[in-house]
Structure 1
Amino acid sequence: MGPIMSPGEMGTGHTVLGCQTADKTVITLFVILVLLSLVAVVGNGCIVIALGSKWVLRRTLSAYNKLLISLAAGRFCLQWVVIGKNIYVFLNPTVFPYNSAMQLLNLMWDLLTAATIWFCSLLGVFYCVKIATLTHPVFVWLKYRVPGWVPCMLLSAVGMSSLTSILCFLGNYLIYNSFVKSTQQPWNVTGNSLKNTLEKFYFFSIKMIMWTIPTFIFSIFMILLLVSLLRHMKKTLSASSGLQDVRAQAHVKALLTLLSFVILFTSCFLSLVLSSASDTPFQEFRYWMWQVVIHLCTGIHPIVILLSNPGLSVVVKSCFC
């Protein structure tokens, strides 16, 4: 599901699979992928409805909820793009990855993927500065400043995501233009050379910048938060009668929720990197396997948020009951 397809996906000598002649495992993975995307749509949609109704009623949202509704809305839109793109690819497995339809789908995918990664990273930063009990002066200063920065942080994330997605779109357009010229002038060999150069250096570099910077920021703050929570939980357990203590249970629950967040985010990031670096045509098993792995992570996380946040669960039940 990488925003820019690998060189292997450019080949036109593969056997056309289509819906009726596709391998059964590919069809199965395609169905699983669509179902996972629909689960993510429902989960993120519930979060958007719950926080949106709260926003309408109270005319305001906390900084944490602004981050959460931005992440849920971004993922909600992303999953519809994923469904549309993969249906298109499944029905047209040998499609030229840089045609007009793919350019539009990839532009939306690039923008929403980068934005949701940034939103996840900002949510991790907010978790850390609000929950961690670190006493370093810089950290204490951040604790009071970050909530007021949230709107600017969200706008900056959208701006950076837009910039990188536009750069990828321009690269896609250049490849498509060269391809069209090469079909009109068979002696022209610059199109294929340009395609290989952009795919090996330009696209991969942009994607690494697009995904690695927020992931690095997320990792640093999550490590700080995990260390803080482990220290605090150790003190709480040593001072209480055991795990039955209410405060100890709360700390354990918070730690497990945080660990699930870190594992899902890391798994999604690694899957995106490995998928974009692989040489896998659309019609191969590996392509669809990567899609399932990536969206298994994004499908589970909204469910974890709903289950771990009693306030959201109550609002969702009141909206649908």
Structure 2
Amino acid sequence: MSGEVINTLMIITVGEFSVGILGNAFIVLVNFMDCMKNKKIASIDLILTSLAISRICLMCIITLDGFMLVLDPDVYATGKQMRIIDFFWTLTNHLSIWFATCLSIFYFFKIANFFNPLFLWMKWRIERAIPGILLVCVAFAVFISLPAAEDLNDDFRLCVKAKWKTNLTLRCRINKAQYASSKVYLNLFTLFPFSVSLISFLLLILSLWRHIRRMQLNVTGCRDPSTDAHMGAMKAVISFLLLFIAYNLSFLIATSSYFMPETELAVLIGELIALIYPSSHSFILILGNKKLRQASLRVLYKVTHALKRRNF
């Protein structure tokens, strides 16, 4: 792989990383300042803050992994360092996915309108249940990460450099079945939160359709606060679903890289695509949240005003 290609990919990686850190750090900072001001934190702010922190950590791990692959590739032939990176990558990956799923569930219960007794009971309880749900997500992510890191280190990481080490190449060929099973194992656990988010999205569509029908029967129009809330929540959920699909495709590219001739190039491209998910979705959440959107507009106004004064 030529040096120009590596430099280009690393520059793009740094750019994506910087943009993602900026968006997610902004979410954490605004919610932290609001929490200090009001001496409490709303459930939606707690979810967004937890999600932003997990994505900051995820982007740091992905970027560190890419730089280590380019600058210090021999680390891939050792166990301890890569086992640590694999553990935290798997942990932050699952935390990010589960926290985003919690956000989809929260939007569904707070905005959707159904008259089922169980739904109404859960809608009333969801605010107080959010801290406990987030803690369960953390415990589950840690539980998944411990054995997954061992499998990743033994199969994928050592195989990245296998084309220069005959003994590693032979080991990778022998362990292909075990490698494939570990990847299926990881992806199966991410399919469940994806399915929950998809169901929440479909139920939001159903709730919006029923709401619009009621509005039309009452001849009051269909653009009202409830409709706008439905549309905003659906945009946040559908953006997560689409970006999540792209993220899993990139993960598939990276983890199947030793089947490809240009192993490092496949890994770097996979990680480059993977960074799109945690970096871009933060700005979608900022635009979809009234408090974050107003705070971003104030910051943008101050920056623009400062630049204009500096020019004069």
| TM-score between the two structures when normalised by the length of structure 1 | 0.77
Does structure 1 residue 130 correspond to structure 2 residue 93?
Answer: no
For residues 105 and 149 of structure 2, the distance between their equivalents in structure 1, rounded to whole angstroms, comes to 30
**Residue in 2 aligned with 1:79?**
59
Structure 2 residue runs of 5 or longer lacking an equivalent are 160-165, 303-312
Cα offset, 1:36, TM superposition: 1.2
The number of residues matched between the two structures is 291
Does structure 1 residue 209 correspond to structure 2 residue 216?
Answer: no
3-state DSSP of counterpart to 1:283: helix
**Residue in 2 aligned with 1:143?**
123
Change (3 A) 1:97 1:48: farther
What are the residue-to-residue correspondences of 1:90-101 with 2, within 5 Å? 90-93=70-73, 96=76, 99-101=79-81
Does structure 1 residue 263 correspond to structure 2 residue 242?
Answer: yes
**Residue in 2 aligned with 1:22?**
3
**Residue in 1 aligned with 2:26?**
46
Confirm or deny: 8 A CA contact 2:17 2:59 kept in the other structure: yes
Change (3 A) 1:191 1:266: closer
Which whole-Å deviations, capped at 9, do the CAs of 1:257-299 have from their partners, x for residues lacking one? Answer: 4433332234334443454355345422x43333233222322
Q: Percent identity?
A: 22
Change (3 A) 1:109 1:98: farther
Does structure 1 residue 170 correspond to structure 2 residue 150?
Answer: yes
| TM-score between the two structures when normalised by the length of structure 2 | 0.79
Confirm or deny: 8 A CA contact 1:117 1:214 kept in the other structure: yes
**Residue in 1 aligned with 2:251?**
272
**Residue in 2 aligned with 1:7?**
none
Cα offset, 1:230, TM superposition: 3.5
For residues 80 and 237 of structure 1, the distance between their equivalents in structure 2, rounded to whole angstroms, comes to 49
**Residue in 2 aligned with 1:55?**
35
Structure number with the higher helix fraction is 2
Cα offset, 1:195, TM superposition: 4.1
For residues 172 and 232 of structure 2, the distance between their equivalents in structure 1, rounded to whole angstroms, comes to 54
Across the aligned residues of Structure 1 and Structure 2, the Cα RMSD in angstroms comes to: 3.4
For residues 246 and 143 of structure 1, the distance between their equivalents in structure 2, rounded to whole angstroms, comes to 18
Change (3 A) 1:248 1:165: closer
**Residue in 1 aligned with 2:210?**
231
Change (3 A) 1:265 1:190: closer
Confirm or deny: 8 A CA contact 2:31 2:45 kept in the other structure: yes
Confirm or deny: 8 A CA contact 1:45 1:76 kept in the other structure: yes
For residues 272 and 240 of structure 1, the distance between their equivalents in structure 2, rounded to whole angstroms, comes to 48
Confirm or deny: 8 A CA contact 1:55 1:61 kept in the other structure: yes
Cα offset, 1:191, TM superposition: 5.9
Confirm or deny: 8 A CA contact 2:112 2:208 kept in the other structure: yes
**Residue in 2 aligned with 1:222?**
201
What are the residue-to-residue correspondences of 1:240-259 with 2, within 5 Å? 240=220, 252-259=231-238
